[in-house]
Structure 1
Amino acid sequence: MNAVTSYLQYIAAERRLSSHTVAAYQRDLANLSSLTAGKPLETLDVSDIRGAIVKLRSQNLAAASVARQLSSWRGFYTFACRRLGYANNPCTGLHPPKAAKALPHILSPDACTQLLDGGLPAESDDALLARDRAMFELFYSSGLRLSELVGLDLHDVNLHAGEAQVTGKGNKTRIVPVGHQALAAIAAWLPHRQSLAQADAAALFINRRGTRLTPRSVQLRLNRWAQLAGLSQRVHPHMLRHAFATHVLQSSGDLRAVQEMLGHASISTTQVYTHLDWQHLAKVYDQAHPRARRKS
């Protein structure tokens, strides 16, 4: 078994990274081999890695893409030094190019209300309407990732306690609160689910055939709802997660609690929402303070 295969098995089995992430690491390591003219990975040194970064930058790749590949390479060499006897990590001391942090697009509270209480897909039957409302209320209520929502099983949601057990990145589980409107929507969906579900179906959200929904199906349904609700912007599931985090933070100011509910391993990931909150405050200030108003 070669070193790359060993590493990919390690991140899949021990670190429990998703198949998409494992595939991305595999592509990044294959690209490293290509950028270094097929030189054996165990013989690469810091000048080889630096040269590979220069080649990536010459391809006009975004700084974030270069940083991701360097992170993949560094992870491989860390593993190879610890487990495979590699003498050195050629990525040590190298820093990725700085990338400007792109703030996530979010929906305002009014837009969320318009989406959830606005126009409904008239071509859908009552079961699908109930299912979609339950999904989108739960997205906004609990800040779930798309993969977490479609991965929910029936027993993961406790309607009496008002909470759900979610399996997130790295197969880590967490308990999230579920708001009363989401609980009511889920309760309204369950009788429809019972009539659609196959005998062994465990998924909370299923399609007409009684099987678990795919992420793509959820994306299409949400975008359809947004169009019929009259929203001018294209809406994707992660926007409801961003909206949840921003609106809770604006109301509570409790960054640590938002981190726990989102399932972020590092609070630095959650801090992007403080920038969004500051943008909101700055806009209010510019509009309200006499000394801040721009002259027309």
Structure 2
Amino acid sequence: MTEYAQDLRTFARFTKDHQLADPLSKDDILAYHRHLRDDLDAKPATIERRLVTLKSYFAWRADRNSALPSPFADVRISVRIPRRLPRPIDRETLKAVLHAETGPANVLLTNRAFATDHAITILMIKLLIVTGLRISELTNLKIRDVSTDASQIIVHGKGNKERIVFVPNEELQDAFRRYCTDRAMQGSPKSSLFLNAVGRRLRSQTFRKRLRALSHRLGIAPHLTPHRFRHSAATLLVEEDTDIRMVQALLGHANLRTTEIYVRVSNHALRRAVERADILRTLE
């Protein structure tokens, strides 16, 4: 609510400074748009929000007083919001995270006992890296969604669309299979696969908190997030020359354009590598 109030105050200052009065016109709105863009140097997302807030306000006002029509009636403003490149986790940081599991207290499962929270967190991180799952898709998994050998997972994605992802690493498969076997002995096929400390379904927010704690312990900034692991999964596959349509299928993207952004990320990595090499300098 504070942002909306600020949006209206910004427009109120504009009308006062420019001595505008009702009824406002289409040209007044276009002038305000230019003011936000050129004078205030507002970000595209901020401009869009402020115009949407203003349009809603004028629609509300016109609904209560027909003598004050909305100046947005004939306005068509396109605010182009640049797509942010995803921020994958660099390889060295990924290695540091995966090596954080070392130590006798972090053995995944022994004697049918539940794994430690940390071990489960590392297992889930590895699954995110190799499958590119959304965290909600991972935490919503049921025991029945994993194949007997733990090499395949049935995922229910956005719009309840079903897809299959694979667990390719033998060592990870073995750890995942032992975990799933233990869970199958303790719960029904419909039970949640990942549980919290009190035996209930592990919530996405709880996993995010674990990642923040791990980030703090390892000195990782910006902190780890589930979606950054998803970005990393896609970027690493692209960098290994995996067909972009295969990456699209893995991530469950409805549109190939959504997946193609990872090619841009990989190109950024290529540029940095070329700049570091500086071939011409080696020829001097």
TM-score class normalised by the smaller sequence: 0.5 to 0.7
How much has 1:128 moved relative to structure 2? 2.3
Alignment map for 1:183-198 (pairs within 5 Å): 183-190=173-180, 193=183
Determine which of 56, 60, 63 is the counterpart of 2:44.
63
- Once residues 248 and 212 of structure 2 are traced to their aligned partners in structure 1, the CA distance between those partners, rounded to angstroms, is 27
1:249-276 per-residue CA deviation (whole Å, 9 max, x = no partner) reads: 0002421111111111111111221111
Q: Who is 2:172 aligned against?
A: 182
- Identity across matched positions, percent: 26
Q: Name the aligned partner's letter for residue 289 of structure 1.
A: D
Q: Which amino acid aligns with 1:113?
A: K
Q: What is the TM-score when the length of structure 1 is the normalising length?
A: 0.64
Contact 1:142 1:179 in 2 (8 A): no
Correspondent of 1:240 among 198, 223, 229: 229
| Contact kept in structure 1, 2:143 and 2:189, CA below 8 Å | no
Shift of residue 205 of structure 1?
A: 0.6
Contact 1:120 1:129 in 2 (8 A): no
Q: Give the TM-score normalised by the residue count of structure 2.
A: 0.67
CA distance in 1 between counterparts of 2:78 and 2:247 reads 28
1:291 and 1:106 mapped to 2: Cα distance? 30
User: Does residue 162 of structure 2 align to residue 173 of structure 1?
Assistant: yes
Match of 1:128 in 2: 117
Q: Does 2:106 align with 1:116?
A: no
Q: Counterpart of 2:59?
A: none
CA distance change for structure 1 residues 278 and 210 in 2, over 3 Å: closer, same or farther?
Answer: same
The answer for the alignment partner of 2:110 in structure 1 is none
Contact kept, 8 Å, 1:143 with 1:262, in 2: the verdict is yes
* Cα distance between partner residues in 2 of 1:93 and 1:176: 46
CA deviation profile, 1:108-164 (whole Å, cap 9, x unmatched) = 223212212225699988432332222111111100111111111111111537221
Which of 227, 231, 234 is residue 216 of structure 2 equivalent to? 227
The answer to whether residue 87 in structure 2 is matched with residue 105 in structure 1 is: yes
User: 1:94, CA displacement in angstroms?
Assistant: 4.2
Distance in 2 (CA, whole Å) between partners of 1:203 and 1:92 is 52
Distance (Å, rounded) in 2 between the aligned partners of 1:69 and 1:189: 50
Aligned residues: 242
Q: Distance in 2 between matches of 1:187 and 1:67?
A: 48
CA distance in 2, matches of 1:214, 1:285: 42
1:23-34 matches, within 5 Å, as none
Give the structure 1 partner of residue 263 of structure 2. Answer: 274
Root mean square deviation of aligned Cα: 4.3
CA deviation vs aligned residue, 1:24-52 (integer Å, no higher than 9, x gap): xxxx9xx9xxx9xxxxxxxxxxx6xx78x
Residues 105 and 66 of structure 1: is their aligned pair in 2 closer, same or farther, counting only changes over 3 Å?
same
Deviation per CA, 1:59-95: give whole Å up to 9, x if none: 9874236658999x9xxxxxxxxxxxxxxxx999946
- 8 Å contact from structure 1 (residues 255, 271) kept in 2: yes
CA distance in 1, matches of 2:206, 2:104: 17
**Is structure 2 residue 206 aligned with structure 1 residue 217?**
yes
